[in-house]
């Protein structure tokens, strides 16, 4: 619990700063990307350089949009929602990536479970976690998504993959800004997810066996 407290305090300070910077970077970035595309369309530049520029600009854009999620929500619109359509949307969004990686996604939940959430933020968390599961199975596998209701009206959503797993010594690093073991990773997905789930008065837990797989358990308050 102490570890978690330290992490949350660090995250709110770092998060506010990061979101502020991301916000400032967004406008010049949009301009740069627009002019680069224009050069590409008009053929007024070296095509291969422009290709690299657009790739790198897209990467900056991805980092910026991840960091923007950390911004203090203006009007916090927490609403009651059905969990089922939220999870289905997320699965649909990642279907082609899963197919390309020979990953099968299975879902098991009872209808009628409701959560109190900011829909887009909760979706972002599920996307981050599910994407990590898919990326942990480069040679294919399956993710089992299961949702249930606890006695004290919490919604528990589990994502269990049979991918690479995480060494025990690295578990504490999850959610640290820029911690990534991937070539093209940003190391921001879990930091953002921790922050969002904290805003939802919930928790995220990781259990993993190296070489066997990982289970991510997200708990958020449900509606009685
Ligand atoms: P990124 O995906 O950009 O690397 P994340 O914050 O989403 O950043 O994840 C951080 C790191 O946590 C990943 O690089 C990976 O090493 C590890 N990780 C997260 N989820 C899983 C998982 N399901 N299986 C194995 N490793 C994982
Ligand atoms: Mg990720």
Q: What is the ipTM of this complex?
A: 0.99
Atom of ligand 1 nearest to the CA of 128: 7
Q: How far apart are the first and last CA of the chain?
A: 27
**How far away, in angstroms, is 193 Cα from ligand 2 center?**
10
Q: Are strands 141-149 and 103-109 parallel, antiparallel or unpaired?
A: parallel
Q: How far is CA 67 from CA 20, 121, 207, in A?
A: 9, 12, 26
CB 34 within 8 A of CB 58: no
Please write the tens of the pLDDT for every residue from 126-179: 999 999 999 999 999 999 999 999 988 999 999 999 999 999 999 999 998 889
Ligand at shortest distance from the CA of 177: 1
> Does the reported pTM lie above 0.90?
no
Please identify every residue whose CB atom is under 5 Å from ligand 2, which is an ion. Answer: 132, 189
115: exposed, middle or buried (C-beta count within 10 Å: 0-12, 13-18, 19+)? buried
| Residue among 85, 203, 106 at smallest CA distance from 155 | 203
- 79 forms beta bridges with 117
**Percent of the chain clearing pLDDT 70 (strictly above):** 92
């Amino acid at each position: 619990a102490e570890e978690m407290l330290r992490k949350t305090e660090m995250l709110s300070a770092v998060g506010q700063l990061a979101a502020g910077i991301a916000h400032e970077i967004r406008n010049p970035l949009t301009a740069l990307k627009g002019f680069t595309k224009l050069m590409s369309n008009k053929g007024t530049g070296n095509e291969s350089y422009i290709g690299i520029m657009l790739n790198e600009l897209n990467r900056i854009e991805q980092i910026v949009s991840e960091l923007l999620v950390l911004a203090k929500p203006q009007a916090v619109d927490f609403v009651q929602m059905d969990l089922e359509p939220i999870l289905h949307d997320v699965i649909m969004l990642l279907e082609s990536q899963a197919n390309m990686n020979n990953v099968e996604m299975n879902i098991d939940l009872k209808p009628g479970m409701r959560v109190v959430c900011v829909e887009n933020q909760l979706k972002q968390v599920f996307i981050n976690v599910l994407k990590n599961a898919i990326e942990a199975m480069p040679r294919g596998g399956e993710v089992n998504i299961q949702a249930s209701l606890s006695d004290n009206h919490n919604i528990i959503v589990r994502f269990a993959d049979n991918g690479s797993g995480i060494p025990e010594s690295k578990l504490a690093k999850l959610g640290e800004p820029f911690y990534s073991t991937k070539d093209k990773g940003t190391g921001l997905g879990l930091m953002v997810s921790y922050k969002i789930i904290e805003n939802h008065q919930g928790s995220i837990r990781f259990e993993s066996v190296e070489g066997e797989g990982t289970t991510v358990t997200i708990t958020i308050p449900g509606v009685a």
